[in-house]
Amino acid sequence: MTGATVLRLHPGPLEEVALKGLYLKHALHRRGSPQTPCVFADFVSSLDGRIAVNGRVPPELTGARDLRLLLELQAQADCVITHGGYLRAIAAGRLGDILQVGAQAAGRDLGSWRQENGLSPQPAVLVASASLDFPMPPSLEREKHRALIATVRSAPAEKLRAWQARGYKVLVAGDGAWVEGGALTNALGQLGYCSLFLLAGPRMLETMLRQGRLSRLFLTLVHRVVGGESAQTMISGGGVLGSAGGLRLQALHQDPVGPDGVGQWFAEFEPFGLKGG
């Protein structure tokens, strides 16, 4: 990774820039406040819009360069927001556990970066789950002080009490079937968290967009058509987003290498109608 570069396409002029530190320079941890937390998300997609097929991220979409940038975003978070599906996938061995800053070879330096920038050694991790049915990873079981759970008002009462009895703080953030972005952002802001990284799926992205809480969207677009019938896209189900889905391009970089040498774009967007961040 040392010495790796990408080509900045927008804003001009064209320039070759270092990959390492590309996302750290945004200083997202300084952009928010408890009143208006900075909420940012990261996705990797194929040209035909696939982020997952049959519940798994296609290996053709994964690469060391994209992982490095994802870890740079995670390092800037006061709190990482994930969901029960991700924790179930970790337990089943379908996905790797990246909830610990500095634990991956691609981001060994990021623990020191957090320390140098006045952040806690590790971000808090919030698990959003309406069912409250998920396993807690060993890394968080050992560090309950940085683990939070968010659910809905209709969540199973016995499961809620069970998580509380194990020492976890549970927030109620939504009156419907799913955890709501606005209520969740407000609750985390009240706890003092200013920068929130969405390591979550399409449903959390959708609610953050609909409720005007997303501050920044980072998208890696791999130059590959994946196909597949049981495919997941960045937004799944629900009604049309309309004006809430409007995005403004802030930056675009081209990586000529990418997974398997096919190349990829690193794009950054800011939603229209931004409320905070």
37 or 104, greater pLDDT: 37
Question: What ranges do the domains of the chain cover?
Answer: 29-44+55-218
What is the pLDDT confidence band of residue 195, given thresholds at 50, 70 and 90?
very high
For domain 29-44+55-218, give the CATH superfamily: Dihydrofolate Reductase, subunit A (3.40.430.10)
* pLDDT computed for residue 2 by the predictor: 67
Asked whether residue 92 carries a pLDDT value surpassing 50, the answer given is: yes
Q: Mind giving me the DSSP string for 149-208?
A: EEE-TTS-HHHHHHHHHTT-EEEE--SSSS--HHHHHHHHHHTT--EEEE---HHHHHHH
* pLDDT computed for residue 96 by the predictor: 80
Q: What percent of the chain has pLDDT over 90?
A: 76
Quote the mean pLDDT of the chain.
93
Asked whether residue 56 carries a pLDDT value surpassing 50, the answer given is: yes
38's CB contacts (< 8 A; 6+ apart) are 28, 29, 31, 32, 194, 195, 196, 215, 216, 276, 277
Instruction: Tell me the residue ranges of DSSP E strands in 15-130.
Output: 15-18, 38-45, 52-53, 79-83, 124-128
Give mean pLDDT, residues 227-238.
84
Q: What percent of the chain has pLDDT over 70?
A: 97
Asked whether residue 41 carries a pLDDT value surpassing 60, the answer given is: yes
pLDDT in tens, 94-130: 788 889 898 888 899 999 999 999 999 999 999 999 9
* pLDDT computed for residue 277 by the predictor: 38
Asked whether residue 11 carries a pLDDT value surpassing 80, the answer given is: yes
Asked whether residue 18 carries a pLDDT value surpassing 50, the answer given is: yes
* pLDDT computed for residue 3 by the predictor: 77
Asked whether residue 149 carries a pLDDT value surpassing 90, the answer given is: yes
Distance CA 265, CA 277 (A): 24
What is the pLDDT confidence band of residue 240, given thresholds at 50, 70 and 90?
confident
237 or 170, greater pLDDT: 170
* pLDDT computed for residue 276 by the predictor: 42
Q: In whole angstroms, what separates CA 259 from the centre of its chain?
A: 20
The greatest distance separating any two alpha carbons of the chain, rounded to the nearest whole angstrom, comes to 58
